[in-house]
């Protein structure tokens, strides 16, 4: 991991870039081409520190930075020629140990499939203030972090959050069963004279500046077979999810009962119903005795 703000891991990153580019230079040599500076693209969401990372590697402020999304608006190549990363003072050796970084504007998918991800990006200040409602985002953020604690992963994802809330907002968010909106208004009543907009801005600024402690908003998969990150279900939505699952189960039972009643009624009236897909497939297997297409090849490769 690299911390561009504190400078941790920057030297290792620069050396890793040079090491990873060795095979590129070797391929150029085999093709009879001269060495040239390695080219590395820096891409990511807006306002995540791309330009700050370049300035750290460069050891001076070259790329324009600010704590707001949309500062970098054009592509810009920046050549790194720091003696700390180069080995040898001759021109050939120097050219082999330099690289160029491409500073690029932040990229956001044109369509966010999961709207929760878009709200979290807003909380992380990756989206302009004019594109979202502060109160809605702040309430969602507080409820989201509380959901992490409800899932039992709070101590590892946001260990300092409860104590930080007690110190800054004068209440423990884990004591009562509160929604994000409840916590927002509690912050407003205790620290902002009842103004929810000021409370929302306070929560977002505290989160972005690290006053609530280090917080990880994403959960890595537990198993290799898991598809992507684990989903975090908010407390207010858990009841809705359970209700939808219960309704689906009741509808499935109701459909099965109706089908059984229809079959019984048809038999009483002497009507012949068409077989279901499963019954028809079973009849074809028993009558033909041929191998199904899905069974072709089964057992032929045992022991390979």
pLDDT value, residue 154: 92
pLDDT (average), residues 132-141:
93
Tell whether the model's pLDDT for residue 148 goes beyond 90.
Answer: yes
pLDDT value, residue 196: 95
What percent of the chain stands above pLDDT 90? 26
Give 215's pLDDT tier (boundaries 50, 70, 90): very high
The H or E element containing residue 282 is helix 277-288
pLDDT (average), residues 263-290:
66
223-268 tens-digit pLDDT: 777 777 788 877 665 555 566 677 777 888 888 888 888 888 888 8
pLDDT (average), residues 175-185:
91
pLDDT (average), residues 287-292:
53
Give 70's pLDDT tier (boundaries 50, 70, 90): low
Burial 286-299 (b: 16+ CB within 10 A, else e): eeeeeeeeeeeeee
DSSP assignment of 138-171 equals HHHHHHHHHHHHHTT-HHHH-TTHHHHHHHHHSS
pLDDT (average), residues 86-94:
44
Tell whether the model's pLDDT for residue 91 goes beyond 50.
Answer: no
CA distance to 8, 10, 67, 91, 125, per residue, from 56 (Å): 10, 7, 16, 24, 21
72 burial (CB, 10 Å; 0-12 / 13-18 / 19+) is buried
pTM assigned to the model: 0.65
pLDDT value, residue 280: 56
The residues near 218 (Cβ < 8 Å, ≥ 6 apart) are 229
pLDDT value, residue 212: 95
Give 176's pLDDT tier (boundaries 50, 70, 90): confident
- For tokens 């119903």, name the residue: 273
pLDDT (average), residues 12-41:
84
Phi, psi of 101 (to 5 degrees): -110, 135
pLDDT value, residue 59: 78
pLDDT value, residue 237: 58
pLDDT (average), residues 181-208:
95
Tell whether the model's pLDDT for residue 293 goes beyond 50.
Answer: no
The DSSP bridge partners found for residue 284 are: none
pLDDT value, residue 9: 87
């Amino acid at each position: 991991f690299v911390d561009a703000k504190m400078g941790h891991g920057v030297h290792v990153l620069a050396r890793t870039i040079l090491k990873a580019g060795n095979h590129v230079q070797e391929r150029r040599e085999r093709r009879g081409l001269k060495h040239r500076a390695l080219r590395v693209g820096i891409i990511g969401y807006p306002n995540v520190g791309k330009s700050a990372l370049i300035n750290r590697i460069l050891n001076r402020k070259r790329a324009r930075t600010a704590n707001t999304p949309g500062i970098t608006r054009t592509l810009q190549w920046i050549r790194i020629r720091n003696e700390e990363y180069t080995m040898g003072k001759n021109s050939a050796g120097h050219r082999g140990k330099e690289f160029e970084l491409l500073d690029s504007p932040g990229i956001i998918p044109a369509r966010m499939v999961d709207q929760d991800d878009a709200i979290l990006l807003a909380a992380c200040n990756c989206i302009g203030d004019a594109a979202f409602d502060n109160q809605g985002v702040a309430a969602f953020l507080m409820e989201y972090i509380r959901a992490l604690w409800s899932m039992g992963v709070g101590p590892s994802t946001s260990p300092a959050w409860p104590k930080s809330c007690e110190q800054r907002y004068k209440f423990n968010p884990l004591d009562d069963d509160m929604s994000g909106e409840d916590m927002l208004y509690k912050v407003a009543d205790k620290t902002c004279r009842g103004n929810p907009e000021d409370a929302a801005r306070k929560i977002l600024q505290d989160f972005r500046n690290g006053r609530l402690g280090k917080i990880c908003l994403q959960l890595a998969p537990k198993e290799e077979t898991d598809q992507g990150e684990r989903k975090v279900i908010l407390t207010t939505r858990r009841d809705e999810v359970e209700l939808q699952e219960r309704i689906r189960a009741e509808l499935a039972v109701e459909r099965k009962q109706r089908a059984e009643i229809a079959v019984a009624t048809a038999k009483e009236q002497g009507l012949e119903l068409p077989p279901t897909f499963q019954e028809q497939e079973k009849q074809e297997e028993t009558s033909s005795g041929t191998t199904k297409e899905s069974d072709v090849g089964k057992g032929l490769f045992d022991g390979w």
